[in-house]
Structure 1
Amino acid sequence: MEKTFNRMAEAVARATGRPWAFATCVASVVIWAVSGPFFGFSETWQLVINTVTTIITFLMVFLIQNTQNRDGAAIQAKLDELIRSGNGKNDFIGIEHLTEAEVEEFRELCKDGKERAGRTSQRAIA
């Protein structure tokens, strides 16, 4: 079921990110707005656009979140492999699972390391 959902979420994300999808949405809103006088700008006329857009938004939130979760996990796996196989410190592998405060500690270590490296390279130039 997960693979089916992932394939469907991927297909919907690709389709809704296309210019024709945006054009279709704009055309729908224009048609809805132009039809207002024919329906006397009634509450039902307003309810139609509100209901349709709310349902679409509600469903898209979950599809977009699924796509972002998978993309983020793939990027993290790639970065972890680059760190593991390169000159990076293996301590950084998996830091996305730490708390914000713990990640901030790593950022401070990087900042300190950058400043030390900058001072070292300035001494070498002088």
Structure 2
Amino acid sequence: MGRWLESASREVTDWSGSSWAFGLAALVILVWLVTGPIFGFSDTWQLVINTGTTIVTFLMVFLIQRSQNKDSLAIQLKLNELVAAMKGASNRLIDVESLSEEELRLLHRHYAKLVAMAKKDADVGESHSIEEAEARHVRKRRSRAEGQGAPAQG
């Protein structure tokens, strides 16, 4: 049953995003408008379009959510593969989507700090952790200070 539902929802999702689906929806609205005078713009005439659009909208919400969930998972897997394959990339980012909002904010602050530090460097790709970047900055400051004869600040 699960495979059939998945297959059916995939087919409907693909079809509903097509030009044919848009054309059919426009045709239904046109027929409804043309039949308005025939039915005297009655409450029943209005109820038909209201009920139909409500049902279609209700079902489409679930199809759209299913499609977004699948696309999001596929994108996350592709990004995880890229992170895992890149030399120097932090593997802490693999499966980052499963972190809590607070953990994501903490990670965002981590990378914001790295960006600020990298702007001071000529080679922005040299480090991948705050600890390494801070240690490198301390070494650079000491080396510059020693070269100028001033005490190092660190």
Aligned-residue sequence identity (percent) comes to 42
- Cα distance between partner residues in 2 of 1:51 and 1:109: 51
- Cα distance between partner residues in 1 of 2:80 and 2:59: 32
1:62-73 → structure 2 map (5 Å cutoff): 62-73=62-73
Conservation of the 8 A alpha-carbon contact between 1:6 and 1:66: no
The structure number with the bigger radius of gyration is: 2
- Cα distance between partner residues in 2 of 1:14 and 1:6: 12
Q: Which residue of 1 aligns with 2:117?
A: 116
Query: Structure 1-normalised TM-score?
Result: 0.89
Which amino acid is the alignment partner of residue 54 of structure 1?
A: T
- Cα distance between partner residues in 2 of 1:89 and 1:45: 61
1:41 match: secondary structure: coil
2:119 match: secondary structure: helix
Higher helix share: 1
Cα distance, 1:57 vs. partner?
0.8
Cα distance, 1:83 vs. partner?
0.9
Query: Structure 2-normalised TM-score?
Result: 0.74
2:41 match: secondary structure: coil
Conservation of the 8 A alpha-carbon contact between 1:9 and 1:64: no
Which amino acid is the alignment partner of residue 55 of structure 2?
A: I
- Cα distance between partner residues in 1 of 2:9 and 2:57: 14
1:42-57 → structure 2 map (5 Å cutoff): 42-57=42-57
Q: Which residue of 1 aligns with 2:133?
A: none
Q: Which runs of 4+ in 1 moved over 4 A?
A: none
- Cα distance between partner residues in 2 of 1:50 and 1:113: 54
- Cα distance between partner residues in 1 of 2:117 and 2:10: 44
Which amino acid is the alignment partner of residue 106 of structure 2?
A: E
In the alignment, structure 2 segments of 5+ residues that lack a partner are 124-154
Cα distance, 1:3 vs. partner?
2.4
Q: Which residue of 1 aligns with 2:96?
A: 95
Matched, 1:38 2:38: yes
Q: Which structure's relative contact order is higher, taking Cα pairs within 8 Å and 6+ residues apart?
A: 1
- Cα distance between partner residues in 1 of 2:122 and 2:6: 48
Cα distance, 1:2 vs. partner?
2.5
2:120 match: secondary structure: helix
- Cα distance between partner residues in 2 of 1:40 and 1:73: 50
Aligned-CA RMSD value: 1.4
